[in-house]
């Protein structure tokens, strides 16, 4: 480099070695590299800011008063004694919240007869009735948490008890106690999809029909960070610090319920210690603290305790299903029929009906050629905590229903279970493939992926391992769990790129990280597209004041939606940069190329990096005409990707059962997945690990139990088992990636896939181990007692699955 050149001109003529060094620095963090999560050092040092870490001067503290009855008429709420207690600032009941809107269910479904689904009014606090244990009836605000707790215990609620109903199927029976007088049979929605006559005809002509009753068991979400909220009101504007899955959506919901313009609400979300779908919703406590902050003129904070979260958070899953699969003589699938009772709990959460209806429709087909699908679901109110989305929200369960039916059908027809799957898998030459659910798959290589997974798991060696287990008195089983998920549909998303005066770059987008590690892969994409040093990029997602729009996170869509927006925004930065660089480099715009982070005059070594160009724009070193762009900053709203994506995989679990105790041990776990182009393999592996462990937890140990009066018997970690490190083996992971054609990065969602693979493979593995003893099916969770009991009831030996 000529050191006698002006500094600006030297920057335009980087030596080849300098350019190569810059390129290597960018490639180290390029798409496809396993870059560690950038936020982890901060979190490991305890420097994260979760909702409870936020505090404001003069804040007061809220405690909720919850119903101890599952069902009953509120005759009176006596707050007189509590109001006089030291430190109490206010006590609020439903009467104080008159004028606010309801917590809404946004699902637009209609009943099979075309009538609208029933959506009973739900205010923030119970007014005339309580409908589940934990139903909030009052909110106490005091100077300290302890003072608020004391006063909450002094609030007396007179409730006339009513009979409770805790099972969806029981609640739909004639004569069952009604939660709402205007909801006959407790049925919020009588959902139907499919051509019933065509499906009936397919079953009538089938050579074989498999029928199976299944339970998709209820789970308590148990996010590591309990829900919390801190509200402030100042100058006619509300601010809410809250864990969420998207601040723009939360702001819109709050504004609608409060009856104010969205500009009068600001939502701030810091780090989020897990959500899995649950924290996306509005909850009663948020309205209570917002109301209290305005009424008292000071900030009000509420933080749940674990005992409260067990009964106040939405729960997940909870479907009672009859699955039917019609097959031709050669094993070809003719039709699948699902009849479902989907428990809604006592209220409709915003997305409550989705998992048991449309998401089963979209996902029950999986990777198989199934010409006809019929799904009939009754979404039913019960005297239990409301049901909301939980990691997959109908996707894992749709796959689970099909995979269990395939194993049963294979055993009944005497066909190898792997061969039956292969016979029905959609082939590469079939793509694009329009399914019976009207979804079109764009990519995949399902048979090859399944074969690779079976080899990775050493499926051929399973028979010898089974014999070895038998010598030790143990039962060994191998389970195959294929899955294909339909991710969230396209929607608008923001990507704003701002080049700051200090040499850093801020990326703003409307998805939200609640543990997935967005900052790193998003920065990898932006770094690769613009040549910006990875360490210079910071991510903003959690402040609604900085978002013009935002779709939030959910449905394994974040990288497809934000990634598409980032790619499009980067193209706009390049477009602006070429025009600016043409003035700086004194060349025509048409002569400016962009490559590896540099604007180059074509055919010359005259160039300037995007970062240097941004620096000059900030320090006045670039003299531009008035009609030229004055910065590289871009705020772009993308219309979204071209469609959903279809992550898929084959998971193979191997278990050993002790027949004397019923204890199940997961010995081996291998999986091959197609997530399209993988931006960060390390983060994808972490997402898989977490999802698989959650699936294992639901399959083997997590059990939500209500008694006949609607009391939650598993209301703490003393009663509710959660998977630990000792419960899972090391995972063997591999990729069989086929790029998606629906988004510019070719990526597919991965966040929910682990659950789908684990539920199917682990459940199938345990039943495979028990099959030689005549056990055909068990419902999750496969606790030691349930397994031991099933073995005792089965008695002798029976025909089992193929052990291939």
CA–CA distance, 56 with 87 (Å, rounded to integer): 18
> Is residue 62 a contact partner of residue 289, using CB atoms and an 8 Å limit?
yes
Bridge partners of 90? 141
CA–CA distance, 394 with 379 (Å, rounded to integer): 13
Helices 784-794 and 753-771 cross at an angle (nearest 10°) of 30
Find how far residue 753's CA is from the centre of its chain: 10
Q: Phi and psi at residue 793, in whole multiples of 5°?
A: -70, -35
Please state, in angstroms and as integers, the Cα–Cα distance from residue 178 to each residue in 71, 207, 386, following that order: 10, 43, 16
pTM given for the model: 0.94
Place of tokens 């998003």: 522
pLDDT of residue 693: 98
CA–CA distance, 496 with 221 (Å, rounded to integer): 33
Strand locations in 143-207, DSSP E?
156-161, 187-193
**What count of Cα atoms within 13 Å lies in the side-chain half-sphere of residue 591?**
14
Query: At a CB cut-off of 8 Å and minimum separation 6, what does 299 contact?
Result: 56, 57, 58, 59, 60, 230, 231, 232, 293
Where is 580: in which H helix or E strand? helix 558-584
Bridge partners of 142? 61, 88
Positive or negative, the CA dihedral 385, 387, 388, 389 is positive
Positive or negative, the CA dihedral 51, 56, 61, 67 is negative
pLDDT of residue 799: 40
Query: At a CB cut-off of 8 Å and minimum separation 6, what does 658 contact?
Result: 473, 474, 475, 665
CA–CA distance, 242 with 282 (Å, rounded to integer): 10
Where is 726: in which H helix or E strand? none
Q: Phi and psi at residue 606, in whole multiples of 5°?
A: -75, 120
Helix (H, G, I), strand (E, B) or coil at 671: strand
CA–CA distance, 134 with 309 (Å, rounded to integer): 9
Pairing verdict, β 664-674 and 493-499 = unpaired
CA–CA distance, 636 with 559 (Å, rounded to integer): 16
Place of tokens 């609607």: 710
> Is residue 312 a contact partner of residue 136, using CB atoms and an 8 Å limit?
yes
> Is residue 642 a contact partner of residue 490, using CB atoms and an 8 Å limit?
yes
Please state, in angstroms and as integers, the Cα–Cα distance from residue 606 to each residue in 3, 565, 583, 603, following that order: 16, 31, 13, 9
**What count of Cα atoms within 13 Å lies in the side-chain half-sphere of residue 194?**
32
Q: What is the 3-state secondary structure (H, E, C) of 505-518?
A: EEEEECCCCCCCCC
**What count of Cα atoms within 13 Å lies in the side-chain half-sphere of residue 314?**
29
Strand locations in 532-606, DSSP E?
537-540, 592-595, 598-601
Which parts of the chain register pLDDT below 50?
Answer: 1-11, 14-16, 796-804
Tens-place pLDDT, residues 694-730: 999 999 999 999 999 999 999 999 999 999 999 999 9
Question: Is the peptide bond between 432 and the residue preceding it cis, with omega within 30 degrees of 0?
Answer: yes
pLDDT of residue 152: 98
Radius of gyration of the chain (CA): 29
Find how far residue 62's CA is from the centre of its chain: 29
Place of tokens 């982890």: 40
CA–CA distance, 757 with 444 (Å, rounded to integer): 16
Helix (H, G, I), strand (E, B) or coil at 742: coil
Pairing verdict, β 300-303 and 60-66 = parallel
Closest listed residue to residue 803, CA positions, set 752, 764, 762, 751 = 764
Helix (H, G, I), strand (E, B) or coil at 343: strand
Q: Phi and psi at residue 328, in whole multiples of 5°?
A: -80, 175
DSSP 51-73: GGG---TT-EEEEEEE-SSSSEE
CA–CA distance, 69 with 71 (Å, rounded to integer): 5
Q: Phi and psi at residue 158, in whole multiples of 5°?
A: -90, 115
CA–CA distance, 688 with 697 (Å, rounded to integer): 14
pLDDT of residue 621: 78
Where is 42: in which H helix or E strand? helix 40-44
Tokens of 363: 């996902």
pLDDT of residue 797: 43
C-beta atoms surrounding 156 within 10 Å: 13
Query: At a CB cut-off of 8 Å and minimum separation 6, what does 197 contact?
Result: none
CA–CA distance, 485 with 759 (Å, rounded to integer): 14
pLDDT of residue 804: 40
Where is 153: in which H helix or E strand? helix 145-154
pLDDT of residue 795: 82
Q: Phi and psi at residue 423, in whole multiples of 5°?
A: -60, -30
Terminal-residue alpha carbon distance, the chain: 67
Where is 402: in which H helix or E strand? helix 395-413
The conformation of residue 164, written as its DSSP 8-state character, comes to -
């Amino acid at each position: 480099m000529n050191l006698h050149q002006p500094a600006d001109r030297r920057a335009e003529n980087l030596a080849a070695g300098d350019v190569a060094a810059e390129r290597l620095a960018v490639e180290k963090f390029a798409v496809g590299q396993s870059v560690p999560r950038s936020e982890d050092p901060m979190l490991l040092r305890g420097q994260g800011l979760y909702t409870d870490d936020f505090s404001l001067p003069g804040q007061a503290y809220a405690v909720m008063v919850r119903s101890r009855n599952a069902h009953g008429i509120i005759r009176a709420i006596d707050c007189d004694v509590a109001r006089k207690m030291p430190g109490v600032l206010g006590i609020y009941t439903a009467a104080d919240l008159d004028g606010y809107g309801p917590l809404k269910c946004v699902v637009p479904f209609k009943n099979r007869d075309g009538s609208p689904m029933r959506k009973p009014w739900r205010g923030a606090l119970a007014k005339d009735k309580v409908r589940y244990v934990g139903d909030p009836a009052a909110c106490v605000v005091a100077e300290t948490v302890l003072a608020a707790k004391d006063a909450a215990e002094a609030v007396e609620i007179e409730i006339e008890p009513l009979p409770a109903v805790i099972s969806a199927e029981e609640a739909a029976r004639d004569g069952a106690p009604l939660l709402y007088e205007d909801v006959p049979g407790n049925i919020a929605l009588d959902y139907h999809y499919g051509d019933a006559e065509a499906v009936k005809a397919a079953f009538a002509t089938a050579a074989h029909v498999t029928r199976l009753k299944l339970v998709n068991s209820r789970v308590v979400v148990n996010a590591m960070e309990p829900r919390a909220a801190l509200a402030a009101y100042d100058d006619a504007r509300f601010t809410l610090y809250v864990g969420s899955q998207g601040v723009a959506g939360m702001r819109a919901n709050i504004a609608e319920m409060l009856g104010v313009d969205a500009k009068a609400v600001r939502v701030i979300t810091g780090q989020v210690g897990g959500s899995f779908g649950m924290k996306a919703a509005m909850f009663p406590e948020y309205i209570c603290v917002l109301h209290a902050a305005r009424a008292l003129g000071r900030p009000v904070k509420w933080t749940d305790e674990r005992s409260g979260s067990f009964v106040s958070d939405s729960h997940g899953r909870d479907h009672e299903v009859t699955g039917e699969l019609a097959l031709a003589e050669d094993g070809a699938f003719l039709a699948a029929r699902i009849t479902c009772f989907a428990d809604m709990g006592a209220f409709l959460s915003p997305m409550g009906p989705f998992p048991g209806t449309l998401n089963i429709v979209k996902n029950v087909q999986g990777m198989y050629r199934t010409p006809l699908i019929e799904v009939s679901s009754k979404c039913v109110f019960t005297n239990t905590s409301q049901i909301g989305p939980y990691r997959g929200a109908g996707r894992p369960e749709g796959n689970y229903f099909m995979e269990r039916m395939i194993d049963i059908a294979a055993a009944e027809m005497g066909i190898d279970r792997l061969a039956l799957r292969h016979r029905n898998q959609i082939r590469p030459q079939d793509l694009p493939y329009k399914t019976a659910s009207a979804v079109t798959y764009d990519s995949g290589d399902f048979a090859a992926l399944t074969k690779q997974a079976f080899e990775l798991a050493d499926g051929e060696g399973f028979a010898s391992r089974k014999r070895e287990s038998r010598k030790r008195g143990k039962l060994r089983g191998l389970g195959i769990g294929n899955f294909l998920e339909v991710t969230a549909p396209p929607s608008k998303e923001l990507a704003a790129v701002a080049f700051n005066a200090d040499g850093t770059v801020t990326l703003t987008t409307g998805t939200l990280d609640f543990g997935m590690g967005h900052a790193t892969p998003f920065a990898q994409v932006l770094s690769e597209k613009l040549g910006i040093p990875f360490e210079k990029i910071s991510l903003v997602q959690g402040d609604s004041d900085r978002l013009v729009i935002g779709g939030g996170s959910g449905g394994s869509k974040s990288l497809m939606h934000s990634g598409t927006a980032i790619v499009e925004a980067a193209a706009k930065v390049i477009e602006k940069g070429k025009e600016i660089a043409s003035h700086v480099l004194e060349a025509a715009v048409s002569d400016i190329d962009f490559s590896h982070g540099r604007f180059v005059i074509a055919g010359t070594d005259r160039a300037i990096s995007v970062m240097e160009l941004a620096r000059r724009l900030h320090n006045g070193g670039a003299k531009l005409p008035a009609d030229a762009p004055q910065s590289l900053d871009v705020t772009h709203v993308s219309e979204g990707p071209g469609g959903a994506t279809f992550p898929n995989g084959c998971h193979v679990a191997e278990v050993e059962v002790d027949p004397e105790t019923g204890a199940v041990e997961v010995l081996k776990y291998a999986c091959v997945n197609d997530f399209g182009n993988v931006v960060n393999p390390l983060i994808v592996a972490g997402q898989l690990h977490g999802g698989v462990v959650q699936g294992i937890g639901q399959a083997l140990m997590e059990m939500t139990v209500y008694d006949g009066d609607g009391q939650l018997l598993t209301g703490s970690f003393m009663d509710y088992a959660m998977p630990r490190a000792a419960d899972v083996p090391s995972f063997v992971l591999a990729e069989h990636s086929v790029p998606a054609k629906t988004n510019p990065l070719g990526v597919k969602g991965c966040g929910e896939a682990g659950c789908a693979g684990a539920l199917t493979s682990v459940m199938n593995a345990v039943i495979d181990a028990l099959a030689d003893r005549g056990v055909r099916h068990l419902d999750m969770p496969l606790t030691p007692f349930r397994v031991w009991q099933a073995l005792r009831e089965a008695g002798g030996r029976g025909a089992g699955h193929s052990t291939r």
